[in-house]
Each structure stands twice: as structure tokens, then as C-alpha cells.
Structure 1
């Protein structure tokens, strides 16, 4: 059974014009499960801002939803075989983000949940990159940075 206090690791890979860019962030968060859907909440601190960005990630069998509130706000939905659009609002301006999700996989274990999504990213109507994102949720007590 997953504990309420968790460590959330988000790993992203972007492929654009032959270049590969990887980013990974680690956050302390809260975990809840309701009707087979997994919810993770955590805050991000942006440089130069006092108010945190409050994040909610909803992990389903074939979908991932990411909601941000605060200095950055957006609602992105990754559903296998679907395209979704959302405004991505940042302190310096807003832009439209479109994601076409080709696959979503969810693996649930006793003290660890992993969700992986592959998608095409477009910003303001122009294709930017092909991306993979992995969200790993681990019980705080058993967290190991791999």
C-alpha cells in the first residue's frame, strides 16, 4: 500500500532535429488513490517567485493529466491515441500547447508507481519535438534515486 508521503520523479526526453535533451526533477509530494486512479500533488518553486506552482498529476491506466496552478498554469492531458490542446500560461506570457499521445503505460507496485507517455509536442501550431515522459511515485521511506 502506497503511503501518503511520496517522492515524485519526473523524467523527460525530447527529440528535436536530431538533438536529444533529457531533464529530471524530483519533488516531495502527497499521494491519494480513488477508484483505481492515482493522484499526486506537489509544489514547485520558481526562481524569482514567492508563490509556488501547485501541481496535480492524475495517473490512469491509459491516461495522464497534469494541472499546474500559480505563476505557471496549464492543464495538459495525455490520452493514448488522442490530441489535446491547452494554454500554457507563464509569468512572461502564454502560448498554446498541443500534445498528440501515441502511448501511455502504467505500472503499479506495492511502494512504487510508474507511468510512461510518448507524445508529439506542438507549440502555437508548430511541431517542436517528439517526447517521452516518465512519472515515478515512490513511498518516501523506500525512495532510491536510480
Structure 2
């Protein structure tokens, strides 16, 4: 059984016009499970802001939902085979984000949960990149930074 205190690693890969960009962030957060759905909560500090962005990630068998509240606010939904659209509000303005999700995979182990999603990203109606994202949730006491 996963503990409440966890380390959340978010790894993203974007392919755009032949260029490849990889990003990875690591956060300490809280984990809860209810009715087979996994919830992770963590704060993120943006440069130049005192108020944190509060993140909630909901991991299901074939879906991932990401909610941000604070200086940045958005609700993104990744459901296999579907397209979702959401406003992405930032301190300098807002834009419309659309994601068409081709696949979502969830792997649950005793002390680790991994979710992977592949999707096409569009901003304000224009295709930007093809993306892969992986969310890994590990019990804090077993986390090892490679």
C-alpha cells in the first residue's frame, strides 16, 4: 500500500518540427486512492511568485486529469481516444489548450505508480507538438534519485 507522503516525477517529451525537447520535474506531495482512482497533490513555486501553484493529478486506468490553481490555473484532461480543450490562465495572459490523446497507460505496483500518455498539443487552435508525458508516484521513503 502506497504511503500518503510521495515523490512525484513528471517527465515530458515534445516533438515539434524535428526538434525534441525533454523536461523533468520532481515534487514532494500527498497521495490518496479512492475507488481505484489515484490522486496526487503537490505545490509548485513559480519564479517571481510568492503564491504556490496547487496541483492535483488524477490517474485512472485510461485517463489522466491535471488541475492547477494559483498564479497558473487550468484543467487538462487526457482520455484515450478523445480531444479536450481548456483555458490555460497564466499571470501574463490566457490561451486555449487542446489535447488529442492517443493512448494512456497505468501501471500500479506496491510502492510505485506510473502513468504514460501520448497526445497532440494545440494552442489557440494551432498544432504545436506531439507529446509524451509520464507521471511517476513513489513512496517518499523508497524514492531514489538516479
Which runs of at least 4 in structure 1 moved beyond 3 Å after TM superposition?
Answer: none
Residues in 2 aligned to 1:35 and 1:117: alpha-carbon distance in whole angstroms: 21
- For 2:82 and 2:145, the matched residues in 1 are separated by 32
Identify unmatched segments of 5+ residues in structure 2: none
Superposition deviation, residue 96 in structure 1: 0.1
Partners of 1:26 and 1:132 lie apart in 2 by: 17
Structure 1: runs of 5 or more not aligned: none
Structure 1 residue aligned with 2:56: 56
Deviations 1:23-52 (A, max 9, x none): 000000000000000000000000111100
Q: Structure 2: how far apart are the matches of 1:48 and 1:127? A: 29
Distance in 2 separating the partners of 1:145 and 1:102: 30
CA distance in 2: counterparts of 1:105 and 1:134, whole angstroms = 9
- CA distance, structure 1, for counterparts of residue 26 and residue 145 of structure 2: 9
**CA positional deviation for 1:107:** 0.1
Q: Could you tell me how far apart the structure 1 residues matched to 2:136 and 2:130 are?
A: 20
SS in 1 for 2:141: helix
1:57 is displaced (CA, Å) by 0.0
TM-score by length of structure 2 reads 0.99
Distance in 2 between residues matched to 1:7 and 1:99, nearest whole Å:
26
Alignment RMSD: 0.4
User: For residues 42-77 of structure 1, what are the alpha-carbon distances to aligned partners after superposition, in whole Å with 9 as ceiling and x for unaligned?
Assistant: 000001111000000000000000000000000000
Q: State the shift of 1:144 in Å.
A: 1.4
**How many residues are matched?**
146
Q: Secondary structure at the match of 1:141?
A: helix
Q: Secondary structure at the match of 1:3?
A: coil
Shift of 1:97: 0.1
Deviation at 1:145, TM superposition (A): 2.0
CA distance in 1, matches of 2:144, 2:74: 30
Deviations for 1:93-120, whole angstroms, at most 9, x for unmatched residues?
0000000000000000000000000000
- The residue aligned with 2:5 is 5
